[in-house]
Chains A and B, each alone.
Chain A
């Protein structure tokens, strides 16, 4: 009986010696990530137009256009004609938020007389502009023009920069 037990233990010990050869490995799953974005595009589709303004006499006046598809005209200048907010079309990654950067200060429209200052730029895209499922969006930009006392008549133009990014 003791001999049998001895043999059994000897075999078990042998198994014990060989076991490490089968247990010398390990594996693990790591993670790989990448964020791929499509370059955004922006195009100006419609100008910011303050229309025809009657030059004030004795003080400055303002013409304001809200940032809506159909701008609401405000201010205390007498104005008429074609008055539109600016329209911008953008493309990029579907259903992705983006940012809009408008002029922080003012820009000048120049023409026959003193420059007309334009400021208070605003857009219609809200706090979290988001591209559609098709990767497109449209927004409008409004602003306020300050017309000088005795402004010389004529056409005044200027440019302003609008940027978009993710």
Chain B
């Protein structure tokens, strides 16, 4: 009977362990601001995934300051000091109301080729950047799309 009680206790403990929340959530969008469509060919703008104020390169002409340029910001939570791998799509597509498409490629996260790790407070965060490619053939407007990212705790 003692053994049965011990096993039941162990089982409950294991279930409790499984209930440890593992989560990742996007708290800020990857925003390329307002860009001028090129008169011919293509232009591009690359947002690096390093910080709140990312490095921006490219030959696309940026307009105004009302639409900020930001790297995407994710918050993760799990157990304390847990390593995790980040998987990003190779590219994503943004569309406008005319169903015209813009591609974002070179998606990268702020850990580069390394893994993230949660803090002793069981949280962590990272940034995601990418490169937008604008063709002269598209119709202007507001473009939007989704980036599905996967994290796997190691």
Chain B residues with Cβ below 8 Å from A10 are 7
User: Which residues of chain B in 23-58 are interfacial with respect to chain A, using CB atoms and an 8 Å cutoff?
Assistant: 23-26, 29-37, 39
The answer to whether B32 touches A29, judged by C-beta atoms less than 8 angstroms apart, is no
**A23 at interface (Cβ–Cβ under 8 A)?**
yes
How many pairs of residues, A versus B, come closer than 8 Å at their CB atoms? 146
Q: How large is the interface on A (under 10, 10 to 19, 20 to 34, 35 or more residues)?
A: 20 to 34
Chain A residues with Cβ below 8 Å from B67 are 35
A6 and B63 in contact, given A37-B35, A37-B37 (Cβ under 8 angstroms): no
Chain B residues with Cβ below 8 Å from A159 are none
Complex: how many Å from CA A24 to CA B153? 5
Residue of A nearest to B66 (CB): A35
Residue of A nearest to B67 (CB): A35
A32 and B22 in contact, given A9-B4, A9-B8 (Cβ under 8 angstroms): no
Q: Chain A contact residues: over half helix, strand or loop, or mixed?
A: mixed
A93 and B72 in contact, given A29-B26, A31-B29 (Cβ under 8 angstroms): no
CB 8 Å contact bits of A1-39 with B (1 = contact, 0 = none): 010011001101100110110011111111111111111
Chain B residues with Cβ below 8 Å from A26 are 22-24, 76, 150-151
A96 and B14 in contact, given A30-B146, A36-B35, A39-B36 (Cβ under 8 angstroms): no
Residues in chain A within 8 A of chain B (CB atoms): 2, 5-6, 9-10, 12-13, 16-17, 19-20, 23-39, 93-94, 96, 166
